[in-house]
Amino acid sequence: MHGAEKGTLQQALSMAQEAVKLDTAKDSHGAVRAYIQSIKTLDTVIQRLISSSLPDELQRVTSIRDTYIERVKLLSQRYSIPNEFNPQSRS
């Protein structure tokens, strides 16, 4: 992984750490917002990894992103928080 990808990945993971803190503090809406920011940043890393032919890194980052998507879906369903990963919860 190149420097740009590493920096962007670190940024996404920092956002995810903030999401976990908010999640732990029972701020579900804040956690969902932070997870979504992290997911979008991870998507940027994934797009770069697709073009750089690093399948192991691509699989690792995709797995991390998918875990956050599942957490967003769970929180969204549990607390009726609308977002792009859970369209059935939209008003």
b/e burial code for range 37-76 (CB count within 10 A of at least 16 → b): bbbebbeebbebbeeeebeebbeebbebbeebbebbbebb
Residues 39 and 46: beta-carbon distance below 8 Å: no
Over residues 29-41, the pLDDT tens digits come to 999 999 999 999 9
Are the CB atoms for 77 and 86 separated by under 8 Å? yes
The domain limits of the chain are 3-89
Q: Which of 41, 48, 40 is nearest to 10 (CA)?
A: 41
> Can you list the residues of the chain whose pLDDT is less than 70?
86-91
> What pLDDT shows up at residue 86?
61
Range 3-89 has CATH code 1.10.3720.10: no
pLDDT score of 75: 96
Rounded-to-integer distance, Cα 89 and Cα 72, Å: 12
Summarize pLDDT for 41-50 with one digit per residue, the tens.
Answer: 999 999 999 9
Question: 0.85 cut: is pTM over it?
Answer: yes
The pLDDT value recorded for residue 90 is 39
